A and B are shown apart, each in its own frame.
Chain A
Amino acid sequence: MISALLVMIGIAAFLGTVLGFSAIRFKVQGNPLVDKIDAVLPQTQCGQCGYPGCKPYAEAIAKGEAEINLCPPGGEDGIHKLADLLGKEFVPFGEGAAPKGKSVAFIDENTCIGCTLCIQACPVDAIVGAAKQMHTIIASECTGCELCLAPCPVDCISMLPIAEDITNWKWRYPVFPIRNAA
């Protein structure tokens, strides 16, 4: 009787120690959910959600502070993905938050005065230039976030929509004209 109790207590103590040790040893740093949400977001860092970047928005969603429909660059697809990830219902975009077509910033180099304000605003370092030197956009790195538009004192930056050409053309969803029955 006593020995059985001792054995059980011994086992319990051993397992408890193992569990306690692993809880400390294998503790997950940070919130893994934030990273998962961040992976779904398009990383334009545009701040259209009202947070200063994709990661802060991901953190806000993880905490339950923000709605999942605040990211226009992610498109409806992004909302669907977030809804799936978080087990929530799909929420459509609010008024005036509908996604726009993809575009890339363009600096009119004749007007640019070289003030570097846009360089400081660019969240992905996609603008090259120096004080009183002409600036230009690295188009392949530009996320089209439009954050450089507001700071420009001479309004020399415009957003050019990315035109469809042979390299980025994609097949459409097959649709067929309905013919009149004779």
Chain B
Amino acid sequence: MKAIFRFHGGIHPPTHKAASTRTPITPAALPSKLVIPLHQHVGIRAKAVVQVGERVLKGQVIGRPEGRLSSTVHASTSGTVSAIDMQLVAHHSGLPDLCVTLIPDGKDEWIEHGGVDYKQISHTEVRHLLRQAGVVGLGGAVFPSDVKAYSNKHKIKTMVLNGAECEPYITCDDMLMRERAHDILRGAEVLRELLYAEEVLVGIEDNKPEAIAAMRQAVIDDQHEHMRVISVPTVYPSGGAKQLIRILTGIEVAAGVRSPEMGVQCFNVATAYSAWRAIRHGEPLLSRIVTVTGNVDDARNFEVLLGTPVDELVTQAGRRPDTDRHIMGGPMMGVQLPAATVGVAKATNCIIASSPALFPPPQPALPCIRCTRCAEVCPAELQPQDLYWFAKSNNFGKAQEFHLFDCIECGACAYVCPSHIPLVSYYRYAKSEIWEREQESQAAELARERHEYRQYRIEREKQEKAEKLAQKEKAAAAAKAAAAAAAEKARLDTPSDPDADPDDTMQLRIEAALARAKEQAATTQPKNTDTLTPQQQAEINEIDARRARIHASAHHDAEPKNE
């Protein structure tokens, strides 16, 4: 028996898990439309590669990954693309994001697909397959798995397979482990080989005995010699990656350090399952298990096509009429959906139909009494009361000093707070403010760099211009000097006019030009003078006479000067 460790704090909220584990996983009915978000993963949004009106097949790529940290999005069934536009998505902001709307044709016609034997292909090809299949972390963080299943810098000793599922109400991983344990472990084996990990530790909370038994049986059946299924005590949030790593290995992942640096990598059981489906069967991530529970008559787990509107899904579980809103995820960390039309995404592990009776509105927040119960339960060993104080007073520097970014937003502090302060909202506010400032200062740095370069460029251009001008002047001076030298030489060579200087020749040239002009004026006859009326002739004569007079007077004026 392997020794297990424990992490600091934690809480024991009522689990409410029994309601949805009574019936096996049911495939959800084909919905009337699918709203598939193009940004279902951490990183850059996938780029739509289909057109409105295009017919797509099940498994066809509709969103191609953009950049390293991105993932592929597929059509969950065959049908016609009816829109590519902004639709409401499951996000805290309640803002819309780009989605592909698909009208299913009911045929559920697959694109050509097939699996491979991962032992016959290279690790790079396996990772490429995972990326092409859109496999991301299904525990909720939706981090692209191909990026995670890579250990070039750090030696990974242990791979942790996360089946803890600590949040109340959620049972999708539990049911998946009960029913599909073999495929989960086969997928885990692939991921282990990609990481060159020595062992796989499967952590499952001890409130899921059936899942533990099924997984242990699967280990024996398939003879996975590197794997061990470990039952861990039920305490929220044992399913947090850092917390589960602590429980299973005793390794404390330090502040600002990622677990691979400590030789541990963590995957969710559903991720391992979808990795196996993608590699062995060539099926991209098109559906996932979603727990539908809360204010419904028939709480259960459905296998749901990605993009299925929450509305249609919850109806299948017998939604009660007093349902007023829906929560995606658990009651501790979940997102309240902005509308019931939102499509199920890769991160959607649970939909809780909520009613005022089930989740009464929060009690008004009272002042903090500094009881430090939050610090007692904080699994990250922070001082939530201090962080609250700093966030509330916008003292972000101090909040960072107190390791705000180690907060996993599990909500344990807010759960125990006797003053009902929504502590996590303050931490999220402070985090996003700090992020924004960080981005602003990066933008300022970029602008400064560009501005300084521009000034340098302008200065350089000025200098280059000045240099060019100086060179031109120099060349002109040299040419003049050369011309002068040539003239001097010519003067020396031709002995004829010893007193002639350049100025004199210039004067001569001007005179010659004037003479030419005069001659031209005298010889050129004005045109249009053939058929003139006597009156016009008289006018012309008069003008000529005036001209002559002016010329005469001008000469008369000029003459004294010449003398």
Instruction: Please report A residues at the B interface, Cβ cutoff 8 Å.
Output: 38, 41-45, 53-54, 123-126, 141, 143, 164-166, 169-174, 176, 179
- Tell me if A126 and B364 are in contact (CB < 8 A): no
- Tell me if B447 and A45 are in contact (CB < 8 A): yes
- From known contacts A42-B440, A166-B93, A179-B364, infer whether A125 and B447 are also in contact, taking CB-CB under 8 Å: no
**Interface 1/0 per residue, B415-444 and A, CB below 8 Å:** 000000010011011011101100010011
Q: List 28 A-B contacts (CB under 8 A).
A: A42-B447, A43-B443, A43-B445, A43-B447, A44-B447, A45-B447, A53-B451, A54-B448, A124-B454, A125-B450, A125-B454, A141-B450, A143-B447, A165-B95, A166-B89, A166-B91, A166-B96, A166-B97, A169-B93, A170-B432, A170-B435, A171-B425, A171-B428, A171-B429, A171-B431, A174-B425, A174-B429, A176-B365
- Tell me if A45 and B451 are in contact (CB < 8 A): yes
B92 within 8 A of A: yes
- Tell me if B448 and A173 are in contact (CB < 8 A): no
From B446, which residue of chain A is reached at the shortest CB distance?
A141
Q: In the complex, what distance in Å separates the CA atom of A151 from the CA atom of B365? A: 54
Given contacts A45-B451, A143-B447, A166-B91, 5 further A-B contacts (CB under 8 A): A53-B451, A125-B454, A141-B446, A166-B89, A166-B93
Q: In the complex, what distance in Å separates the CA atom of A53 from the CA atom of B458? A: 15
From B450, which residue of chain A is reached at the shortest CB distance?
A124
The list of the 6 closest CB pairs from A to B, nearest first, reads: A170-B432, A43-B447, A174-B425, A43-B444, A169-B93, A124-B450
Q: In the complex, what distance in Å separates the CA atom of A165 from the CA atom of B97? A: 8
- From known contacts A43-B445, A174-B426, infer whether A169 and B451 are also in contact, taking CB-CB under 8 Å: no
B39 within 8 A of A: yes
Minimum C-beta distance from A174 to chain B (A) = 4
Inter-chain contacts of B454 with A (CB < 8 A): 123-125
Q: Which of A125, A166, A176 has the most CB of B within 10 A?
A: A166
How many of chain B's residues touch chain A, expressed as a range? 20 to 34
> How many A-B Cβ pairs are below 8 Å?
68
The SS class assigned to the B binding surface is helix
- Tell me if B429 and A126 are in contact (CB < 8 A): no
Q: In the complex, what distance in Å separates the CA atom of A61 from the CA atom of B433? A: 27
- From known contacts A171-B425, A171-B429, infer whether A126 and B450 are also in contact, taking CB-CB under 8 Å: yes
Q: In the complex, what distance in Å separates the CA atom of A38 from the CA atom of B229? A: 57
Q: In the complex, what distance in Å separates the CA atom of A38 from the CA atom of B445? A: 10
Q: Which of B92, B433, B440, B448 has the most CB of A within 10 A?
A: B448
Which one of A164, A171, A173, A174 lies within 8 Å of B92 (CB-CB)?
A: A171
Q: In the complex, what distance in Å separates the CA atom of A104 from the CA atom of B531? A: 72
From A126, which residue of chain B is reached at the shortest CB distance?
B450
Minimum C-beta distance from B388 to chain A (A) = 10
Q: In the complex, what distance in Å separates the CA atom of A111 from the CA atom of B445? A: 33
From B435, which residue of chain A is reached at the shortest CB distance?
A170
Inter-chain contacts of B451 with A (CB < 8 A): 43, 45, 53-54, 123-124
Q: In the complex, what distance in Å separates the CA atom of A70 from the CA atom of B478? A: 54
Q: In the complex, what distance in Å separates the CA atom of A173 from the CA atom of B435? A: 14
B453 within 8 A of A: yes
Minimum C-beta distance from B438 to chain A (A) = 12
- From known contacts A124-B454, A169-B93, infer whether A174 and B422 are also in contact, taking CB-CB under 8 Å: yes
Inter-chain contacts of A42 with B (CB < 8 A): 440, 444, 447
From B437, which residue of chain A is reached at the shortest CB distance?
A77
Q: In the complex, what distance in Å separates the CA atom of A125 from the CA atom of B446? A: 11
Q: In the complex, what distance in Å separates the CA atom of A164 from the CA atom of B445? A: 23
Q: In the complex, what distance in Å separates the CA atom of A170 from the CA atom of B428? A: 9
Which one of A41, A53, A164, A171 lies within 8 Å of B95 (CB-CB)?
A: A164
Inter-chain contacts of B440 with A (CB < 8 A): 42
Q: In the complex, what distance in Å separates the CA atom of A125 from the CA atom of B453? A: 9
Q: In the complex, what distance in Å separates the CA atom of A41 from the CA atom of B426? A: 27
Q: In the complex, what distance in Å separates the CA atom of A45 from the CA atom of B454? A: 12
Inter-chain contacts of A44 with B (CB < 8 A): 447
Minimum C-beta distance from A167 to chain B (A) = 8
- Tell me if A173 and B39 are in contact (CB < 8 A): no
**Interface 1/0 per residue, B81-110 and A, CB below 8 Å:** 000000001011101110000000000000
Inter-chain contacts of A45 with B (CB < 8 A): 447, 451
Which one of A41, A164, A166, A174 lies within 8 Å of B444 (CB-CB)?
A: A41
